[in-house]
Amino acid sequence: MTDERTDARGGLGIACSNLRMHYGKTQALDGLDLAVEPGVAMGLVGRNGAGKSTLFRILLGMELPDAGTVKRLPRQLDDRSFLARTGYVPDQLSVYDWMTVGSAIEYVGKLQPRFDSRWSDTLVVDLGLDRTKKVTALSRGMQARLAFVLGLSHRPELLLLDEPLLGVDAVSHDAIPAILARMRSEIGSAMLVASHSLGDLARFTDRIAFMEAGRVVEECATDDLVSQTKRLVLRPEPVAFALPPETIHVTKADGAIVVTVRDFTGDLLERVRATLPNGSIDVIDLTIAEACTDRMRAMEVRA
Amino acid sequence: MTAAGTPSGTPIGLVLDADSTVPIFRQIVDGLRASIARGSVATGHLLPSVRVLAEELGVNPNTVQKAFSELEREGLVASERGRGMIVLGGTRQSAKAAGEDAVLARLADAVRHSRAVGLSDERFEALLKRAKKLAGEARREGDST
C-alpha cells in the first residue's frame, strides 16, 4: 500500500458495448466496444472519420445510437446526473462572440448544476486568463485554456477531451497538462482523450485504444505500446522466412527486411533468430508516434 | 496550493521528452535515480509527492506512482506512511551504479541501431561527439527559457 492514492474515489467510468450509428450510407460506428474504468485515462487514436466524434456525441447524450448500450460505471446514473458529472472540452470553443471570458464562465455556471465557483476561479488564475477580455480577442492558446475552464469548472468525474491541445502554443501546452494531472490526483477523474498528438497521449494516458472504421480494433497499456513495439532489422534480406505471429508491419529497406512486432520479448527474438541462422538481427526502439503509425498501417491493410 | 506547471522543469531537474523511444515511466525512474545519485535529494529526505510531481511534469499521476514503486523495488527509496517516499541511506553509490547501467544499456542500443543502418563504429564515435555537442546546446537553450 502506498501513502498517496491516485486512483478513483468513486469516479465515473463508461462501458460502451456494440455501439452502432449510421448517417445516410456512412456507417460511423460499426459495433464499437470500449470500456473506460473509473480513474483510468484512455487515449483514442484513429484517422479522421474513424468515428471518434460520433462516439463523443453519443457519450454526451447529443445523439442516440442506432443500437448498442452505454453503461455508466460503477453506479448506474440517469442521463441527467451522468452528464452533470461529465466534462467536455471540444477542439473548438463555442460561445457567443459578444461574451467576455468572465461572462462566458458565468453563463456556463448557470447551466451547470454542479458548477464550483471556487474551483473555477482557481482554474482561471492557474491558466492565466483575463476575465475582462472578449472571447473573440483571445489567441488560439487562450481560447483552448478557456475551453478547459468551461469544461472542468464543475469538477467532473469523467473528462471527454476532443483534440484538447490542437494548435495550442507552447506555454498553454505546459499549463494544461498540469491541470489534468491535478484533476486526476484530486478527483480521480477518468478521461477519454482523442488526439493526433501522440506525445501528449504518452504523457496523460494509462491506455490507448485504436479506432478504425467505427470500431476499437486494439487496446493496450500506453507504456507497453512504447516499450514492447520494436522494429527488427533482418540482414541480409532472408529468402524464405516465416513472420512471427506478433508481426504488425513489414517493409523492405536496402538489403534488409524490417519487421515491426508487438509484445516484444527476448523469447520472440530467440524464435526469430532460430529461423535465420546466418543473418543478423538488430532491434530498434520506437517512439510512441512510430509505434502507433506502424499499428495504423497494419489496420489499413486489414480493413 | 501549487502553481500550475513550471516550464523549466522540477526542483530536482527532471525534463521529459514525450517523443523519445524511452517510455515516460522509464524517463521518470531514470531522472529520479539520477537526482539521488547526484545528491540533489539527500538521504533521509523526501521525494516530491506523486501529486506535486505529476502536476509539475504534466503527466499521469498513475505513471509517477509506478515510477516510485520501481525505485522502491530497487531499494533506493522507502514508502513512509503519511509522509511520502524517503531516500534511503547508502543509496547514492547504488543509484550511481544503476544509472550507469541504464546509460550503458542505451548506448548499446545506439550502437546496435548504428550498425543496423550500416554505419561504421568510427562513424558512430564521430556521431557520439556531435551528440554531446548537441546536448550541450540544448541544455543552454533550456536554461534560458
Q: What does the pLDDT look like over A140-179, one tens digit per residue?
A: 888 989 999 999 999 999 999 998 877 777 777 778 888 9
Q: Does A287 touch chain B (CB under 8 A)?
A: yes
Total domains, chain A = 2
B65 with A226: Cβ contact below 8 A: no
* CB spacing of B50 vs A185 below 8 angstroms: yes
Side-chain-side CA neighbours of residue B39 (13 Å): 2
- Helix (H) / strand (E) containing A28: strand A26-36
Helix (H, G, I), strand (E, B) or coil at A260: strand
- Interchain contact, A226 vs B23, CB within 8 Å: yes
C-alpha angle with apex A248: A244 to A252, nearest 5 degrees? Answer: 85
Residue in B92, B100, B63 with CA at minimum distance from that of residue B76: B92
| B92 min Cα distance to partner chain A (Å) | 23
Say yes or no: A212 and A64 in one domain: yes
Lowest mean pLDDT among B71-80, B95-104, B126-135: B95-104
Cα A226 from Cα A221, distance rounded (Å) = 9
Asked whether residue A142 falls in the same domain as residue A252, the answer is no
- Chain A residues in contact with B141 (beta carbon < 8 A): none
Tell which of A185, A207, A223 closes a domain.
A223
pLDDT 10s digits, A94-147 = 777 889 999 999 999 998 889 999 999 999 998 999 999 999 999 888 898 999
pLDDT given at position A2: 38
Cα–Cα distance list, A139 to A93, A168, A172, B56 (Å): 12, 9, 11, 24
> What was the pLDDT predicted at B106?
83
Within this chain, do residues A187 and A250 fall inside the same structural domain, yes or no?
A: no
Using an 8 Å CB-CB cutoff, list chain B residues near A279: none
How close B113 gets to chain A, by Cα (Å)?
6
B43 touches chain A (CB under 8 A): no
Residue A221 contacts B where some CB pair is shorter than 8 Å: no
Q: Is-cis flag, bond preceding A236, omega within 30?
A: yes
Tell whether B14 lies on the interface with A, counting CB pairs under 8 A. no
Whether chain A has a CB inside 8 Å of the CB on B63: the answer is yes
Same domain, A145 and A268: no
Regarding whether A208 and A126 lie in a shared domain, the answer is yes
CB atoms within 10 A of CB A77: 14
- Does A152 fall in a domain? yes
Q: What domain range includes position A20? A: 4-223
State the Cα–Cα distance between residues A181 and B53, nearest whole angstrom. Answer: 9
What's the CATH number where A33 sits?
3.40.50.300
Separation of first and last alpha carbons in chain A: 45
Domain membership of residue A294 (yes or no) is no
Who contacts B89 (Cβ-Cβ below 8 Å, separation ≥6)? B43, B44
Question: Are both A140 and A275 inside the same structural domain?
Answer: no
Q: Is B145 a residue whose pLDDT tops 70?
A: no
Mean pLDDT of A39-54: 91
Closest CA to A108 of A94, A98, A118: A94
Of B22, B55, B116, the CB nearest to A178: B55
Decide: A259 and A243 in contact? Cβ < 8 Å. yes
Of B7, B21, B83, Cβ closest to residue A3: B83
Q: What would the mean pLDDT of B36-56 be, rounded to a whole number?
A: 87
Looking at the fold, whether A12 and A40 belong to one and the same domain comes out as yes
Number of C-beta neighbours around residue B98 at 10 A: 20
Q: What is the pLDDT of residue A73?
A: 83
For residue A287, give the nearest of B19, B63, B64 by CB distance.
B19
Q: Is residue A182 part of a domain?
A: yes
Classified as helix, coil or strand, A26 is strand
One domain for residues A126 and A211: yes
Domain termination residue (choose one: A204, A223, A242) = A223
Contact A285 B5 (CB under 8 A): no
What is the number of residues in chain A?
Answer: 303
pLDDT tens-digit readout, A243-284: 889 999 998 887 889 999 999 988 898 888 888 877 888 888
- CB of B68 less than 8 A from some CB of A: yes
Question: Is residue B143's pLDDT more than 50?
Answer: no
A106, A239: one domain: no
Does the residue A299 lie in any domain? no
Residue B5 has pLDDT above 60, yes or no: no
A38 belongs to a structural domain: yes
Instruction: Please say if the pLDDT value at position A198 is more than 80.
Output: yes
Contact (CB, 8 A) for A193 and A27 = no
Same domain? A95 vs A15: yes
pLDDT grade for B1, boundaries at 50, 70 and 90 = very low
pLDDT exceeds cutoff 80 at B61: yes
Q: Name the domain boundary from A223, A241, A273.
A: A223
Of A172-181, A210-219, B26-35, give the lowest mean pLDDT range.
A172-181
According to the model, what pLDDT value does residue A3 have?
A: 35
Q: Does any domain span residue A303?
A: no
Instruction: Mark whether A241 and A212 lie in a shared domain.
Output: no
Average pLDDT of chain A? 87
In DSSP terms, A158 is beta-bridged to: A86, A190
Give the residue on B whose Cα is nearest the Cα of A126. B4
Q: CA A165, CA A148: separation in Å to the nearest integer? A: 10
Q: Is A135 left (phi over 0), alpha (psi -120 to 50) or beta?
A: alpha
* pTM value surpassing 0.90: no
Question: Which residues from B are below 8 Å from A4, CB to CB?
Answer: 49-51, 65, 84
Does B111 reach chain A within 8 Å, measured CB to CB?
no
- Give me the pLDDT at residue B3, please: 36
User: Which among A269, A270, A297, A263 is positioned nearest to A283, based on CA atoms?
Assistant: A269
Residue A160 CA to residue A191 CA, distance in Å, equals 6
A209 located within any domain: yes
Within a domain: residue A300? no
Are A42 and A171 part of one and the same domain? Answer: yes
* ipTM for the whole complex: 0.78
Shortest Cα distance, chain A CAs vs residue B46, angstroms: 13
